[in-house]
């Protein structure tokens, strides 16, 4: 029978025919697509004449089938894993690593790019073509194309081993998250708001546990830690959450992290860099580890001061409850929530009914309509899971994109939230419009009840939709430069910028409504906005600590014991004892599941410096939906992908690069000693 992954997809919008694909189809499809890609590259090197079209542009097409097959596979394996899909990921990792190592080690292919590079001024290339040539050649060089002999062979071995380890790291983490849950007796539900109880009962049904449970899904465990008065249960849940990847046995990630760091260091040295941090940051906006550390330490000092002051207040509250001993990490969220209620008269249980998932989706869409003229209409097509929803995106009646939303947590889905493009925008061979998806892990309500979000959940939804807009509005020629194909410390700008529109009072007034359609009372709305920077010391400390540990991991010689190195870094910066890193090493998926955020977890904060300043451009007009500013944002940032350097794009939008002050002001830390 014909493999559905290898046919022309006669589906709405060119979606993968998920209803026809079985797990048995992926392996043969990947093998066939790899063979096709290798044949395409052989055809490129066989061309006697070297031209931009038969080399650069031909490489853009060479892996089209492979990209399409893998897009479908990694979508389902990341959102709905099963043992067969896990095994396939492990099988594919070394195969794909070997393929890409073979590409960069293909001397005949690299020589064609070198030839074009030597003649670049004579080729009559336009700006986008010149950028493609520059990025393509740079990618070859940074992947080891100039290595030869034993060094080239070792580079291939290092990449293959690292790809296997990164896959195992991710699967170990998912296994720990999937397998652990804490049953709750009825008396353990006392003090929990209805939305937490509902989520716990729903999770218990999914686990077939015979009653409510707490899982390691952030959207369930965080509100449990906020509201449960049972300190021992908070401790048990918190310690399980922070022990992910460090429980011993087959799913322990500590040795894997050690080896990954050593392999990255070796890779960087093979390429002539002193360490992996210098290699990784060379192509980012920050450029150097010193610039990254400077930003993080500028923020660390006021954040730590704020957190220490907050810790004193929370310790007083702990003592008032008759508990002797210091404030612990499993206490912080509980007493911070009580303090927020006392000082701001703000109770998340009171707020949450006004943040229904469907209304927040509507809000994200409505803002995009006002800013960019996009329209969103529900539509149908094959999906990989019943929870997935589809919308067609149009502008002035023209198709712009297909948007997919997969919002609910399940045991088979990896944790976190992300945006990906199942098909990226391009225009090299006619207009190809993107298929973009947002994946979240919100607690699924019992049947018949609305899904309610916390304010942080709503921010996450807006954040991921900002990434989606970056993909949807892309308007470039070459797929490799479209959408979010930009520097890692620039890619978070559109997503973090979009979060600001959730805070616009007019948006909340229209969409923050309860089940009866009643808007959030103005006094409650004022409290929500007024408490926007509440507990920001805690949030900033846990993030910056993670970013600093990540940076130090990749500077100098790799640590023999990353857990010891982690402890040393935290001690050196004076980590408050009642706050832990947001992502401890054994479950630091950003850093160890791939190279993307390795020595670059700081990127969220680097982008935040820009997003605060970028939203100020709208505020300065007196209209958060100012048409001219929105048009400039789209023209200079959202539509142009990686066709120019990030600092050039931002300066074109804003006229200058920003300083850290806007970030500190936005976090309420500007005048903290």
SS3 track for 342-377: HHHCCCHHHHHHHCEHHHHHHHHHHHHHHHHCCEEE
Is the CB of residue 163 less than 8 Å from the CB of residue 96? Answer: yes
Rounded to whole angstroms, the Cα distance separating 375 from 298 reads 41
Is the CB of residue 558 less than 8 Å from the CB of residue 565? Answer: no
What three-state secondary structure class fits 652?
Answer: helix
Closest CA to 403 of 428, 429, 373, 423: 423
Is the CB of residue 433 less than 8 Å from the CB of residue 467? Answer: no
- Residues annotated as catalytic are 464
Is the CB of residue 54 less than 8 Å from the CB of residue 43? Answer: no
Name the H helices within 13-145: 23-46, 52, 58-62, 64-79, 83-104, 107-118, 127-142
Could you tell me the two tokens for 312? Answer: 């004193």
CA distances from 632 to 371, 399, 442, 447, 637 (A): 11, 22, 33, 44, 8
Closest CA to 296 of 532, 490, 550: 550
Rounded to whole angstroms, the Cα distance separating 390 from 405 reads 7
Rounded to whole angstroms, the Cα distance separating 511 from 539 reads 26
Name the H helices within 143-274: 149-179, 194-207, 218-227, 231-242, 254-270
Provide CB contacts within 8 A for 619, sequence distance 6+: none
Rounded to whole angstroms, the Cα distance separating 416 from 218 reads 8
Rg (CA), the chain: 25
Rounded to whole angstroms, the Cα distance separating 227 from 630 reads 40
């Amino acid at each position: 029978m014909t493999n559905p992954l290898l046919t022309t997809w006669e589906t709405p919008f060119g979606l993968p025919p998920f209803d026809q694909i079985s797990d048995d189809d992926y392996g043969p499809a990947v093998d066939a697509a790899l063979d096709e890609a290798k044949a395409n590259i052989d055809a490129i090197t066989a061309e006697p004449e070297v031209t931009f079209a038969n080399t650069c542009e031909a490489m853009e097409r060479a892996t089209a089938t492979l990209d399409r097959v893998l897009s479908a596979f990694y979508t389902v394996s990341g959102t709905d894993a099963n043992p067969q899909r896990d095994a396939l990921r492990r099988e594919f990792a070394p195969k794909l690593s070997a393929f890409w190592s073979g590409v960069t080690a293909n001397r005949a292919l690299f020589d064609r790019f070198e030839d074009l590079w030597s003649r670049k001024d004579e080729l009559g290339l336009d700006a986008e073509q010149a950028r493609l040539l520059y990025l393509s050649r740079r990618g070859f060089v940074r992947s080891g194309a100039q290595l030869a002999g034993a060094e080239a062979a070792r580079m291939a071995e290092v990449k293959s081993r690292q790809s296997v380890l990164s896959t195992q790291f991710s699967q170990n983490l998912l296994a720990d998250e999937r397998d652990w849950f804490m049953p709750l007796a009825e008396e353990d539900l006392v003090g929990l708001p209805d939305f937490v109880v509902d989520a716990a009962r729903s999770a218990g049904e999914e686990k077939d546990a015979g009653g409510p449970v707490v899982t390691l899904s952030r959207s369930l465990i965080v509100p449990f830690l906020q509201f449960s008065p049972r300190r021992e249960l908070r401790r048990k849940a918190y310690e399980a959450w922070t022990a992910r990847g460090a429980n011993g046995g087959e799913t322990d990630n500590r040795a894997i992290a050690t080896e990954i760091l050593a392999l990255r260091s070796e890779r960087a040295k093979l390429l002539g860099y002193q360490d992996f941090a210098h290699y990784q940051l060379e192509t980012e906006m920050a450029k150097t580890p010193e610039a990254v550390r400077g930003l993080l330490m500028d923020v660390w000092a006021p954040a730590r001061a704020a957190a220490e002051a907050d810790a004193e207040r929370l310790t007083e509250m702990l003592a008032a409850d008759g508990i002797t001993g210091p404030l612990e990490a499993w206490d912080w969220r509980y007493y911070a929530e009580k303090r927020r209620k006392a000082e701001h008269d703000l109770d998340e249980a009171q707020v949450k009914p006004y943040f229904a998932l469907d209304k927040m989706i509507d809000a994200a869409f409505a803002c995009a309509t006002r800013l960019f003229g996009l329209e969103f209409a529900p539509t149908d097509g094959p999906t990989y899971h019943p929870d997935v929803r589809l919308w067609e995106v149009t502008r002035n009646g023209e198709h712009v994109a297909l948007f997919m939303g997969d919002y609910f947590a399940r045991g088979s889905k990896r944790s976190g939230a992300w945006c990906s493009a199942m098909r990226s925008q391009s225009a090299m061979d006619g207009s190809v419009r993107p298929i973009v998806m947002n994946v979240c892990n919100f607690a699924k309500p019992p049947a018949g009840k609305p899904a309610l979000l916390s304010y942080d959940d709503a921010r996450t939804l807006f954040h991921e939709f900002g990434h989606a807009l970056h993909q949807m509005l892309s308007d470039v020629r070459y797929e490799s430069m479209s959408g979010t194909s930009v520097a890692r410390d620039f890619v978070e700008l559109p997503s973090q910028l979009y979060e600001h529109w959730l805070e616009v009072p007019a948006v909340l007034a229209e969409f923050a409504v309860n089940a009866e359609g009643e808007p959030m009372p103005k006094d409650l709305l004022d409290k929500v906005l007024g408490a926007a920077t509440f507990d920001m010391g805690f949030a900033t400390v846990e993030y910056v600590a993670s970013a600093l540990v990540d940076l130090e991991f990749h500077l100098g010689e790799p640590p023999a014991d990353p857990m010891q190195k982690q402890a040393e870094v935290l001690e050196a910066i004076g980590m408050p004892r009642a706050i832990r890193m947001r992502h401890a090493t054994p479950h630091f998926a950003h850093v160890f599941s791939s190279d993307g955020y390795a020595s670059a977890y700081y990127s969220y904060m680097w982008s935040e410096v820009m997003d605060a300043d970028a939203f100020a451009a709208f505020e300065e007009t007196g209209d958060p939906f100012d048409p001219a500013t929105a048009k400039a944002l789209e023209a200079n940032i959202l539509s142009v992908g990686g066709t120019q350097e990030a600092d050039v794009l931002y300066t074109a939008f804003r006229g200058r690069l920003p300083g850290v002050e806007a970030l500190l002001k936005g976090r309420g830390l500007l005048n903290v000693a």
